[in-house]
Amino acid sequence: MKAKAVFYHAGCGVCVEAEQSLAAALDPARFDVEIVNFASAPERVAEAEAAGVKSVPAFVIDGRPFHINHGATMDQVRGAT
């Protein structure tokens, strides 16, 4: 069974770079990667915060948050949505 990896972002430049270089790099044989853009899915903010996401872009892999560089805080994300 594949592990779940969710990449959360907000469409920012830092986010796009991380998506293209890192989110796209995961092994498709072992991971189901879902890309969530808060600009089009603001209802997913609560789920990301519950997993420990403090800023975007971020991965949640097997329930653990990994913040990648820094595009925006979740407060900024909420203000923008």
Q: Which residues are at the interface with a second copy (CB under 8 A)?
A: 3, 5, 17-18, 21-22, 25-31, 59, 61-62, 64-70
Q: Compute the distance between CA of residue 27 and CA of residue 5 in angstroms, rounded to an integer.
A: 11
Which CB sits closer to a second copy, 39 or 66? Answer: 66
- Shortest CB 43 distance to a second copy, Å: 25
How many CA atoms, within 13 angstroms, populate the side-chain half-sphere of residue 52?
Answer: 9
Q: Compute the distance between CA of residue 55 and CA of residue 29 in angstroms, rounded to an integer.
A: 28
Which CB sits closer to a second copy, 8 or 59? Answer: 59
Pairing of strands 3-9, 55-61: antiparallel
- Shortest CB 38 distance to a second copy, Å: 20
